[in-house]
Structure 1
Amino acid sequence: MKHMIVGTAGHIDHGKTALVKALTGIDTDRLKEEQERGISIELGFAGLALSDDLHLGIVDVPGHERFVKTMLAGVGGIDLVVLVIAADEGVMPQTREHLHICELLQVKRGVVALTKADLVEPDWLEMVRTDLKGFLAGTFLEGAPVVAISAVTGQGIPQLRAVLREAAETIEPRRDDGVFRLPIDRVFTIKGFGTVVTGTLWSGTVRVGDDVVVLPRELHSRVRRLQVHGQTVEQAWAGQRIAVNLPGVDVDQLNRGDLLVFPGSLTPTMTFDVSLALLKDAPRALRNRARVRFHVGTSEILARVVLLDREELNPGDETFAHVRLEAMAGAMAGDRYVIRSYSPAVTIGGGSILDPNPPTRRRAKASLLEHLKVLQTGSSGQQVERLLAQAGPTPISLDALRVSASVDETTLRRELARLVEGGAAMALGAKGDPGYIHRSHYDRVAGEILSRLEDFHKHEPLKEGLPKEELRSKLHQVGPVLFARLLQDLIETRHIVIDREKVRHFLHRPTLSAPEQAVKDRLAAIYRHAALRPPDLEAALTQAGADRKSGLTIFRRLVDEGEVIKIKDNFYLHRDHYNHAKELLLNHFTLHAAISVQQFKELLGISRKFAIPFLEHFDGVKLTRRHNDERVLYT
């Protein structure tokens, strides 16, 4: 079945709620105050089945100027709008503001309902129709069907149903393969069930039992029950009005404007890069860094608008801007938003979110503007490649790209495959869940690795190479997956060599001069002759006639080559004596289950000073393990 969301729009007391009741039989004014005052204060909801394969969820919004904030929370997810205009009054202030909002949110289709047609003469009705043509000219409702109705007599209601069905059938349904997002527009509790949230399912699907999280508070729960238009279901799809029962979350922890998503699928932020258009009839220019009310999804957040190429934006003009929110929000590239002036609260403009999580460090203004231009008007391939280029050397996952790219998942996968095949991008990591990196970052980091190795060999010619993790720590934002791939590729292309976890340039051959080789030989001899009672390192260097700096480098080479074994700091043994001691210990364990410190001292003929660290070393290499005051063979 095809599901569409229809929203009402229009001035207060023009008959929106009465129209919904005439269409569906449901009075959406559920609050006592609404019924007493005869005006809508909160959002109202109703369902309308137009056929066996087409169901409309209707969102009825308040028309009073004080409740435009509530109206914005209701129309963010609609597919089709019914602009309601009373025939006896015509176009009024909130008629204009609501139409502006629908245009800013890029609602594509709609119809016009001329309500209270029973209260005016036919000539007056025709005059109103003529006036409407001028009012709607140049808007998305230019040429839209205009149906005269009366909620009292039923006039025009069948015709309006037919027009709604015709319009809905021409609209593409929302995609189910997108990121699951439910902007919350209502929160309440049901006795025996707990907290329930409702909203229009913007994208993706959700099932009973799914783990979910409420942003921006990061409140975790799972879907206990699901309802679509009052019917309990196991799964809901994009484009449906749904209610979700969330156990373990208190109703007081949630608000309209929160966002329900799957864990890890979307990260809330306090900054957006956006396109921004100021309405032609905005009361004044928008100054740089002006404080505004920022509406995205069902939320209203105070924010500052930083204009990127001017000090003020005049009515009717467009630009790019950086929005700094005063509270966290979750959004995706391509989401539409509306801004209203801080005081008085009047709708003044809006646009599209181009980058939902821009980098903290800003680029030069010219390059930033060019970047945003590509995100706004570039082809899908250009947008995806630009996002990879911006991401730096950190591989970006498909899930992250789905949030940042204003293209559907099928297109995203196709463009990524094309970029990888063409060599502009690389896929790293597991086949089923790779990360993607732009080739330029890969080439840059590969060059940096070779440059750092050359510099290291220049200053430390006697050392065999840099330890792998030390090398990675010198590379900014390079994670283990990319680093491993780079090393593998550089080995295969004969640029580097890795020996005993140390990386060196392929052309580097560490060689000792004759005097240095003599020092090395003397140090080896000193430790060979010392047996199991070695000197401390400083004494060994002095005895070998080496200055401290070069002597330490030569000594480390002995350790790297395995001729001298490190037991602990300042305690080294020649490998011959180390292996002999190890052999004696293993022979002991063929006859005995354990060995004490005293027995170990006597076995090797050494003092406690050497015995304790020696045993701790064997514990560390998992030859032995401590059991009470003795050592047993490690198993």
Structure 2
Amino acid sequence: MKHLILGTAGHIDHGKTSLVKALTGIDTDRLKEEKARGITIELGFAHLELAGGIRFGIVDVPGHEKFVRTMVAGVGGMDLVMLVIAADEGIMPQTREHLDILRLLGVKSGLIALTKRDMVDPEWLALVTEEVREFTAGSFLENAPIIPVSARTGEGLDALKAELGRLADLSAEKRREGHFRLPVDRVFTMAGFGTVVTGTLLSGEIRVGDELELLPSGREGRVRGIQAHGSKVDTGMAGQRLAVNVQGVDLDQVHRGNVLVPRGVFRATRTVDARLDHLASAPRELKHRATLRLHSATYEVPAQVILLDRDTLLPGESAFVQLRLKEPALLLPGDSYILRVASPATTVGGGVVLDPFPPRRRRRSDEALQLLEVLGSEEHQRICALLVNQSLLSGIAFEEILLRSGIPRKAAETALAGLLPSGEIIQVVREPRTFLSREAFATLKSGLLGEVTAFLATNPLKEGMGKEELKTRLPKRSDQRFFTPLLSAMERDGTLLSERDIVKPAGRVVQSSASSDSLAGKIATFLGEKGSEPPTIKETMERFRCDEKTVRDNLALLVRKGEAVRISSDLFYAAPALNGLREKLVALLQAKGEITPPEYREQTGLSRKYLIPLLEYFDGEKLTIRVGDKRVLRKR
């Protein structure tokens, strides 16, 4: 079964609803006010099956100018449009506005139904047909079939169905791969079931039991049941009109304009880059920073228009813009939108979303305009390269490339695979896959080398810089997960060496000055004199009248030379003294098998200040192992 959405369009009272009823037997006017006034106010829905396995979901939109916002909500997801024009009246104001809206929202195919055929003579019908041909010239309906029909007598209905079937055969179904997306156009509650939402499934498939999320609110729920064209189904497919019973979401928590999506896949945005076509019929020029009403699918929100390459946009012109939304919305690459002014209520333009998560753009930026020129095209490799390059030092994840470009997953995989061998881009993190440009990778490596060099210039006695400290020196906008692959690359190219927990430039040798050698020697002598109870850092500072950094740098130098051993952050032993204490402990344990701290203190004369850190050091060196309050020799 091929599932397509057929929408109506046209001026008020031109017979859209009557024609749908004649085709399907379904009256789409469901409100009392609609029955009383004889006009459509809300969206109406019906379905039509044709030979050859074609099923249309029909969306009947209102024709009155006051309800254009509702009409726009119905256009989202249309595959074909049936532009309805009354033969006795011809082209009217809403006929013109509806055709503008259809073009701006990307509808590509349809036909024209000349209704009320029974109310005019053949000569008048020929004149109206000619008027319609002139009216649609240059639009997507320029060569569309024009079918005279009468909902009252049934004349022309068979011909209309035949043309709908022919157009359906030529139309591609919506993408069933990928994630489901259902803009909500109606919400109600049913006793025993709870909240039900309706809408046209734009992509993917939705199944009973699926975990879902409502955007932009972020409320979560689960699919309890699905109906398609009045029948219960387990799976809804792209191109179908669906009613979805949502569990876990109350009636007052979901509204028209919300979008049902899989949990955790999409996110809402408040800024999008787009192409904007300013209608030639617009009453005036559009100025930079103008605020208009944006409509897309079933959603509407105030939006400020940032013109990226000019200060004004004249009627009939097109430009790249950044749209800054007053409230968050779910907009994806390729989504169509229209812009309307509030007073007088008029459609002035519209276009296509190119990048739903752009940075704030500098106006007249060649770099930004270069990306926007190529977004939406089939130049997938170039798009991926530009997105990676323009991510600078932040890098960009694979899923972000998909969200921002709209490129299908397999095509993006192929494009990136084509860029990696040349080194133009680098996969810097495996999971989630994240990419940097060659230039950004080189900049980050250069920055790390600069940090190490600067650190050692002010710490000449240190062998290198601590890895964890160096990691914190990555730019804030970079991910710290970049550190390990950056360091590995620098080790491979011989820029840096990594030893234990420090990093140093390749070939670094600590050059000690005569004064530092003299001080280090004096500290070594001082440690030796103190024997098994060495001085603290503070005592050493006082003895040699120097600051803490100088003492620690010289102690680190003695440790590297093997003349001293670091027991804790504040305790250093002369190597001979520590060796003597180690030998005494081993001899005691070999003789007794085990020893308690008091017993060791009795044998060595150590105070608790030195005893506990020393025993913990020997545990850490895997000489001893603690068993309760005793130590035993670790088995080798």
Alignment of 1:398-437 (within 5 A): 398-430=398-430, 434-437=433-436
Q: Is the 8 A contact 1:9 1:61 kept in 2?
A: yes
* Alpha-carbon separation, structure 2, partners of 1:53 and 1:85: 29
**What is the number of equivalent residue pairs in this alignment?**
629
Give CA-to-partner distance per residue, 1:80-107, whole Å, 9 cap, x none. 1111111111111111111101100111
Whether 2:280 is the aligned partner of 1:261: answer no
Q: Secondary structure at the match of 2:383?
A: helix
Q: Is the 8 A contact 1:472 1:478 kept in 2?
A: no
Cα gap change, 1:285 to 1:461, in 2 (>3 Å):
same
Whether 2:456 is the aligned partner of 1:457: answer yes
Of 132-141 and 208-217, deviating more is 208-217
Supply the AA of the counterpart residue of 2:100. Answer: H
* Alpha-carbon separation, structure 1, partners of 2:592 and 2:88: 109
Alignment of 1:55-454 (within 5 A): 55-360=55-360, 362=362, 365-375=365-375, 379-430=379-430, 434-454=433-453
Which residue matches 1:29?
29
Q: Is the 8 A contact 1:265 1:400 kept in 2?
A: no
Q: Is the 8 A contact 1:3 1:56 kept in 2?
A: yes
Of 480-489 and 599-608, deviating more is 599-608
* Alpha-carbon separation, structure 2, partners of 1:330 and 1:590: 76
Supply the AA of the counterpart residue of 1:564. Answer: V
* Alpha-carbon separation, structure 1, partners of 2:290 and 2:588: 82
Supply the AA of the counterpart residue of 2:472. Answer: S
Q: Secondary structure at the match of 2:73?
A: helix
Of 532-541 and 168-177, deviating more is 532-541
Q: Secondary structure at the match of 1:83?
A: strand
Of 454-463 and 268-277, deviating more is 454-463
Q: Secondary structure at the match of 2:273?
A: strand
Of 454-463 and 256-265, deviating more is 454-463
Cα gap change, 1:351 to 1:607, in 2 (>3 Å):
same
TM-score (norm 2): 0.89
Q: Is the 8 A contact 1:177 1:409 kept in 2?
A: no
Supply the AA of the counterpart residue of 2:308. Answer: L
Q: CA deviation at 1:257?
A: 0.9
Of 323-332 and 134-143, deviating more is 323-332
Supply the AA of the counterpart residue of 2:33. Answer: E
Q: Secondary structure at the match of 1:84?
A: strand
Q: Is the 8 A contact 2:393 2:440 kept in 1?
A: yes
* Alpha-carbon separation, structure 2, partners of 1:48 and 1:29: 17
Q: Secondary structure at the match of 2:155?
A: coil
TM-score (norm 1): 0.90
Q: Is the 8 A contact 1:395 1:482 kept in 2?
A: no
Which residue matches 1:509?
509
Supply the AA of the counterpart residue of 2:445. Answer: A
Of 484-493 and 510-519, deviating more is 510-519
Which residue matches 2:50?
50
Give CA-to-partner distance per residue, 1:154-181, whole Å, 9 cap, x none. 1111111111111121122222233432
Supply the AA of the counterpart residue of 2:442. Answer: D
Q: Secondary structure at the match of 1:494?
A: coil
* Alpha-carbon separation, structure 1, partners of 2:529 and 2:507: 36
Q: Is the 8 A contact 1:524 1:564 kept in 2?
A: no
* Alpha-carbon separation, structure 1, partners of 2:132 and 2:583: 97
* Alpha-carbon separation, structure 2, partners of 1:25 and 1:586: 103
Q: Is the 8 A contact 2:16 2:84 kept in 1?
A: yes
Supply the AA of the counterpart residue of 1:301. Answer: V
* Alpha-carbon separation, structure 1, partners of 2:136 and 2:64: 21
Whether 2:566 is the aligned partner of 1:565: answer yes
Q: CA deviation at 1:274?
A: 1.5
* Alpha-carbon separation, structure 2, partners of 1:583 and 1:336: 83
Give CA-to-partner distance per residue, 1:455-504, whole Å, 9 cap, x none. 33333332222222322322223324322212112212222111122222
Which residue matches 1:478?
478
Supply the AA of the counterpart residue of 2:460. Answer: P
Q: Is the 8 A contact 2:333 2:353 kept in 1?
A: yes
Of 470-479 and 539-548, deviating more is 539-548
Q: CA deviation at 1:375?
A: 2.6
Give CA-to-partner distance per residue, 1:562-595, whole Å, 9 cap, x none. 8433535x34456777785799599889999997
- Unaligned runs of 5+ residues in structure 2 are none
C-alpha root-mean-square deviation of aligned residues, in Å? 3.3
Q: CA deviation at 1:356?
A: 0.7
Q: Is the 8 A contact 1:17 1:60 kept in 2?
A: yes
Cα gap change, 1:200 to 1:572, in 2 (>3 Å):
farther
Cα gap change, 1:81 to 1:416, in 2 (>3 Å):
same
Cα gap change, 1:140 to 1:364, in 2 (>3 Å):
closer
Q: Is the 8 A contact 1:374 1:386 kept in 2?
A: no
Q: Is the 8 A contact 2:273 2:322 kept in 1?
A: yes
Which residue matches 1:520?
520
Q: Is the 8 A contact 1:424 1:439 kept in 2?
A: yes
Q: CA deviation at 1:57?
A: 1.3
* Alpha-carbon separation, structure 1, partners of 2:111 and 2:591: 92
Q: Is the 8 A contact 1:291 1:342 kept in 2?
A: no
Q: Is the 8 A contact 2:537 2:551 kept in 1?
A: no
- Unaligned runs of 5+ residues in structure 1 are none
* Alpha-carbon separation, structure 2, partners of 1:514 and 1:521: 10
Q: Secondary structure at the match of 2:326?
A: strand
Q: Is the 8 A contact 1:519 1:546 kept in 2?
A: no
Q: Is the 8 A contact 1:332 1:356 kept in 2?
A: yes
Q: Secondary structure at the match of 2:481?
A: helix
* Alpha-carbon separation, structure 2, partners of 1:554 and 1:480: 32
Give CA-to-partner distance per residue, 1:282-339, whole Å, 9 cap, x none. 0111122111001123110011112223222111111122211110112112221110
Q: Secondary structure at the match of 2:212?
A: strand
Of 350-359 and 573-582, deviating more is 573-582
Of 125-134 and 314-323, deviating more is 314-323
Which residue matches 1:467?
466
Q: Secondary structure at the match of 2:18?
A: helix
Q: Is the 8 A contact 2:540 2:551 kept in 1?
A: no
Aligned sequence identity (%): 43
* Alpha-carbon separation, structure 2, partners of 1:126 and 1:111: 17
